[in-house]
A and B are shown apart, each in its own frame.
Chain A
Amino acid sequence: MTDTYRVRRGDGAESRNAVHFTFEGKSYQGLAGDTLASALIANGVHLVGRSFKYHRPRGFVSAGSEEPNALVGVGATQSRYTPNLLATQVEIYEGLVAESQNRWPSLETDAGFLNEYFSAFLPAGFYYKTFMWPRMAWKKLYEPVIRRMAGLGRAPAEPDADRYTQVFAHCDVLIVGAGPAGLAAALEASNSDATVILCDEQAEMGGSLLSDRSASIDGMQAADWARAALDELRKRPNVKLMSRTTAFGWYPHNFVGLNERVTDHLANPAANQPRERLWQVRAKEVVLAAGAIERPLVFTDNDRPGIMLADAARTYVNRYGVVPGKQVVVFTACDSAYRAALDLKAAGAKIQVIVDLRKSASGHWVDKARAEGIKVRSDSIVRGTSGRLRVKSAQISNAQGGDAETVACDLILMSAGFTPSVHLFSQSRGKLSYSEELRAYVPGESVERERSVGACKGLFALDSVIESGAKGGRDAAAKAGFPPRGERSYTVSARSVGADAFIGSVMADHQAEKRAWVDFQNDVTAKDVRLATREGFRSIEHVKRYTTTGMATDQGKLSNMNALGVVSKQIDVAVPKVGLTTFRPPYTPTTFGSFAGQSRGDLFDPVRKTSIHPWAEAQGAQFEDVGVWKRAWYFPQVGEDMHAAVARECKATRESVGIFDASTLGKIEIVGKDAAEFMNRMYTNAWTKLEPGRLRYGVMLREDGFIMDDGVVGRMATDRFHVTTTTGGAARVLSMMEDYLQTEWPDLEVWLTSTTEQWSVIALQGPNARRVLEPLVEGIDLSADAMPHMSVRQGRICGVPTRLFRVSFTGELGFEVNVPAGYGRAVWEAIFAAGKSYGITPYGTETMHVLRAEKGYIIVGQETDGTVTPDDAGLGWAVGKAKRDFVGKRSLSRPALVREDRKQLVGLLTTDPKAVLEEGAQIVLDPTHPIPVPMIGHVTSAYWSATLNRSIALALVRGGRSRMGEELSIPMPDGVIKAKVVDSILFDPKGERLNA
């Protein structure tokens, strides 16, 4: 196709290179510098999408990031496909492939258009009202159908092939927006030693200056002045210019998120370029120069392809050199549309009529239009339009009603004035105030270190825009500590278009209004909004949620003020009283890739591995996640499932010797003159009398009296403790210890050091453990007399220094060999080799769990849940009764914590020894009790015990210790399981094995 809508601009447009692309499978030609929108318009294409709900044909409304309709999917392959991009922002390159969305079977003939014929039955709140019943049908029937019908783009079917990076940056002054105000601010702020970042969402900086053919600054045409200013800024070493960079979000303390699109506009990006960069900028001062967005007028059938914002058409003509239509009707409530009409006329379009909503249109622009022979109708409205895939005509009448005149056209321009872009200001928690004159909200009081300048502050005349930008730039640099070296002056020659504005529906008598769109993207009409108010919604926050107006991906950039206008008029309440919906980041949709950055695949989540991990991996161990640690779960041999492997590992450990990697245990070295006193205060146990060389099982409470952590503690010297914590609790415990040490007891002379990573811990458990270790150890007598249970010795193993613990979490004779982590694997392999003749068997966390459950040893986080006291867990013996104080002590005597019927830890033996209970299952007295059945406890641990050849369980049961022998019921989906309450120690209750 040829680009018959291209106009020569005399500024070198004809020398721009031809670029070929496809849209909807058809090939087109555009020019370098075109957006997909301007290139399609050059080819006469306006139909680009189907609306969200009614599948109405839709075309371009705007020329920028506020576009509600022209959502496209871009990408030739699924791994580089991006849905929901705006055709008004997508830059074309050779070979670009784009398609429309939300249409089937094709854009021209879309089956979903049937919704249009049922539109009377699809009012606001339709989904809430209709799909209430039957409940099951929502998930199976309604939702899938509605999702298919009402939709945006499809997610790509393959993982994203691109790379995304994230950058932190600091600057003295960040300027958002490189239009006239932003450029002036940058020129002034950078005339100092301040570091300045100037960012703009568009490919080319200059903003509205690029579309202005009539204004001049410093004797230059507006666009030339912008380019000269940018050249000057580029030369300054303290300035960083960032185009294609959207400031999408404001976060506290002048932290602004920028999304830089690096390669999307390139046909052949270099392999080392990321697709996008997420900039996290901390700015001392911010200048917001975000501009303003033109508002549509709300009139019947204002959504047909070929109905567009007036200033957008001016941008297409003046900046891109394409004319969006040749027979134009202009409908306006302000002067700026006259300026657009004159520019279109200059480009060869015929302006049929300018329909002005204002009672009597007058002034410079109106006179100029009339002088050029354009017909102007005051106090008039467009009351309807025709044309299915492209607008064909406009029906025009007096504003108060009366006969309508039909005027043929292929383009209707509309303008209700401009809405300042206060999004970032509002996100920064600045207070907005309503301007009756502008019919819009403008920045009021600031909270953060920022100032708004130019159109986003509600200033629209070019001279005042530049003046406010310059002032804001100087102010920002000075407040950042860098007073500018001088002021420059600007000679601006531009005719103001005033600030007239309108919000709401144009129809005086809205009974005569048919469907007039307020929100194009979510298909919400003025009628829908009125319906919401009739049904009792008065706050705009409620109207928004009920009608979904302003809730589409454009977040109501075009629609919010018009929706407010409709509500305000309908319920006769002033706009500021109706309220304003909250502006939230991101300003425009931002890719997930940008936020994820490098955090994908292996880098998604950190993984901690012990030094013995590769050995376990080579043995074919299965691993489980414990916190961020990978722990060997069990070691299956050929043909074994988990059940068989665990049974074998348990048996080997009980009968001979097992070896277990306990390196993930948290470890804290507590050192200092007051170390024992600190331990006394932090743990329930008494530590003063524990001799060096001895171990003690320690319990730590929170101040509310509940168990927080536990672990074995070794006293290495009078002023030194080797503390172990649970694997998952290490950081929490150290943090709590630091808290008390730093904030409550700064007088104590104690130092805390995490040593989790410094020690590898090899547990050797079983009747033959001593025999395996003895030949490897130097300088330590391992005999039962010299080194009883719960003692610690220092010496060497395999020539490596060790802290050797005699300790058991299995109930067997056991040792835990602590060696410097770098030697962990070598020592492990030496012990394993030495144990071969005893059939040494590596075991994982599952076997560890079974063995300790047989002995009734608790695991914090499994038997406890943050509401379990030491007494509940059967650990009353570990609480130092004579101690004056320790963290949590006072809480243990609170009334609720001393009740007789608290849940207590007991063992459970099922009547059927083969039935293994489910962890978390609820326990009841009488399963036939009518619902709700009172629950008296729950199962905390349940396993098959190969040692006892039956199932075992631990449980927390109300008054459990006084229920010994009682039969309880555990109702499960396939029947009730009966179990008997027994002591929690199910194996070797006298502890003869571990003392061997």
Chain B
Amino acid sequence: MLLINCPYCGPRPEAEFANGGQAHIARPADPMSLTDDEWAAYLYMRDNTKGLHHERWRHANGCGRFFNASRDTTTDVIKRTYRMGERPEAEHQGAKP
């Protein structure tokens, strides 16, 4: 069970959290102006990262807040958690954030 450091509550066991998929995918400001392909890319296309991956978590059975985590998918090591609206650490931005 992962130990996840909620930026609001501190370290808590994984069972308190819900994973929210890849982070830093902003909903387009004006969806109707997008082509079908652009919209499909937003809807469905996600990275399948081997290595450091920025992902969203929600402290569902705790404070209820969403936040981001930079997790290595090969080792499960979480390098850092950070709040919504913040960017991943520069050295963690190897792939595309």
Contact = CB atoms under 8 A, between A and B. Distances in A.
B32 A738 contact: no
A744 B27 contact: yes
B30 A885 contact: yes
Given A739-B58, A746-B85, A890-B31, A253 B2 contact: yes
A193 interface: no
A890 B66 contact: no
Most buried by B among A251, A255, A744, A890: A890
B1 interface: yes
A743 B39 contact: no
Contact of A251 (B1, B32, B75, B84): B1
B23 to A, nearest CB: 9
- Interface size range of chain A in the complex: 20 to 34
Interface string A420-436: 00000000010000000
Contact of A885 (B31, B56, B77): B31
A752 to B, nearest CB: 9
Contacts of A884: 32
B3 A742 contact: no
A738 B66 contact: yes
Contact of A735 (B13, B18, B65): B18
B76 A252 contact: yes
A742 B66 contact: yes
A47 to B, nearest CB: 44
B76 A739 contact: no
A429 B74 CA distance: 9
B58 A738 contact: yes
Interface in B50-97: 56, 58, 60, 64-66, 75-78, 84-85
Nearest to B78: A253
Contact of B60 (A254, A735, A742, A746): A735
B58 A735 contact: yes
A895 interface: yes
A53 interface: no
B43 A891 contact: yes
A678 to B, nearest CB: 14
Contact of A894 (B30, B36, B64, B66): B36
Contacts of B2: 252-253
Interface string B1-34: 1110000000001000010100000110011101
Contact of B84 (A735, A742, A895): A742
A743 B31 contact: no
A704 interface: yes
B45 interface: no
A447 interface: yes
Contacts of A255: 1, 3, 13
Contacts of A735: 18, 58, 60
A703 B3 contact: no
Nearest to A890: B31
Most buried by B among A703, A743, A885, A894: A743
Contacts of A894: 36, 39-40
Contacts of A889: 31-32
Interface in A868-899: 884-885, 889-891, 894-895
Contacts of B64: 738
Given A252-B1, A253-B1, A895 B30 contact: no
Contacts of A738: 58, 64, 66
Given A884-B32, A895-B36, A447 B1 contact: no
A890 B3 contact: no
Contacts of A704: 43
Given A447-B75, A447-B77, A735-B60, A743 B66 contact: yes
B50 to A, nearest CB: 14
Contacts of B77: 447
A735 B58 CA distance: 9
A446 B62 CA distance: 32
Interface in A237-274: 251-255
A891 B39 contact: yes
A991 to B, nearest CB: 34
Given A282-B3, A891-B39, A894-B39, A739 B27 contact: no
A746 B83 CA distance: 12
Contacts of B13: 255, 282
A255 B75 CA distance: 14
Contacts of A742: 65-66, 84
Most buried by B among A255, A282, A742: A742
Contact of B34 (A282, A447, A739, A890): A890
A970 B34 CA distance: 42
Contacts of B84: 742-743, 746
A703 B58 contact: no
Most buried by B among A254, A429, A895: A429
A885 B32 contact: yes
Contact of B32 (A447, A740, A890): A890
A703 B43 contact: yes
Most buried by B among A252, A738, A740, A894: A252
Nearest to A734: B64
B77 to A, nearest CB: 7
A372 to B, nearest CB: 53
Contacts of B3: 253-255, 282
Nearest to A885: B31
A853 B56 CA distance: 40
A746 to B, nearest CB: 7
A743 B56 CA distance: 10
A739 B36 contact: no
A744 B32 CA distance: 17
Interface in A891-925: 891, 894-895
B57 to A, nearest CB: 11
B39 A253 contact: no
A735 B18 CA distance: 10
A153 B36 CA distance: 60
A267 B15 CA distance: 38
Nearest to A738: B64
Given A742-B84, A889-B32, A890-B31, A253 B58 contact: no
Nearest to A731: B60
Nearest to B40: A894
Nearest to A255: B1
Most buried by A among B31, B32, B36, B76: B31
Contacts of B60: 735
Contacts of B32: 884-885, 889-890
A254 B3 CA distance: 9
A346 B40 CA distance: 80
B14 to A, nearest CB: 8
B59 to A, nearest CB: 11
A893 to B, nearest CB: 8
A282 B75 CA distance: 17
Contacts of A253: 1-3, 76, 78
B79 to A, nearest CB: 13
Contact of B75 (A429, A890, A891): A429
Contacts of B78: 253
B65 to A, nearest CB: 7
A175 to B, nearest CB: 20
Nearest to A254: B3
A743 B83 CA distance: 10
Contacts of B1: 251-253, 255, 280
8 contacts: A255-B3, A735-B18, A735-B60, A739-B20, A743-B84, A744-B27, A746-B84, A889-B32
Given A735-B60, A746-B85, 10 more contacts: A252-B76, A253-B1, A253-B78, A254-B3, A429-B76, A703-B27, A704-B43, A743-B66, A744-B27, A895-B36
In order of increasing CB-CB distance, the 7 nearest A-B pairs are: A890-B31, A253-B3, A252-B76, A742-B66, A447-B75, A255-B1, A744-B27
Interface of B: 1-3, 13, 18, 20, 26-27, 30-32, 34, 36, 39-40, 43, 56, 58, 60, 64-66, 75-78, 84-85
